[in-house]
Amino acid sequence: MSPLTIISRDAATGPVLEITGDLEYGTAPDLREAVDRLILASGQLLVLDLAGLQFCDSSGINALLAARNLAAEHGADIALAAVPANTARVLSIVGLDRVFTIHADAATATAASRSTAS
């Protein structure tokens, strides 16, 4: 098992969380806490950069959904970036690929958001 690391940075469109390691039962609360600490404003985009994600179980999927719900409560949008193939497959099987906006990488996610806002 790989420890979960979450690094927060700001982009012009809103916060980006770079998530690395295993997002599972024992670490999912860490993502929820990281999202809870964010200051989200209406119209912003929260990007969850999953490029370093090595494993994601159902608790991790629930944490992603909790992040989406929190963003929605603040009038913000959410996008997933660089979703690993195994996680993308799970999202597709359960239909969450139609719930989340998914981008190839964080730069594409923030660029797409900027062009939509123009």
Residues 6+ apart with CB under 8 A from 26: none
Whole-number average pLDDT of the chain: 94
Identify the pLDDT of residue 1: 76
Structural domain contains residue 116: no
Identify the pLDDT of residue 96: 97
Structural domain contains residue 17: yes
**Nearest alpha-carbon partner for 37 in 13, 70, 78, 85:** 70
Structural domain contains residue 70: yes
For residue 21, what is the enclosing H or E element? Answer: strand 14-23
Q: What is the CATH number of the domain that holds 69?
A: 3.30.750.24
What domain range is 104 assigned to? 5-110
Structural domain contains residue 78: yes
Are the C-beta atoms of residues 31 and 63 closer than 8 Å to each other?
Answer: yes
Structural domain contains residue 118: no
Number of domains the chain contains = 1
Identify the pLDDT of residue 118: 45
Structural domain contains residue 117: no
pLDDT, tens digit (0-9, with 9 covering 90-100), for 38-74: 999 999 999 999 999 999 999 999 999 999 999 999 9
Identify the pLDDT of residue 29: 97
Question: pTM (2 decimals)?
Answer: 0.93
The dihedral sign for the CA sequence 75, 70, 4, 55: negative
Structure tokens at 77: 């949008």
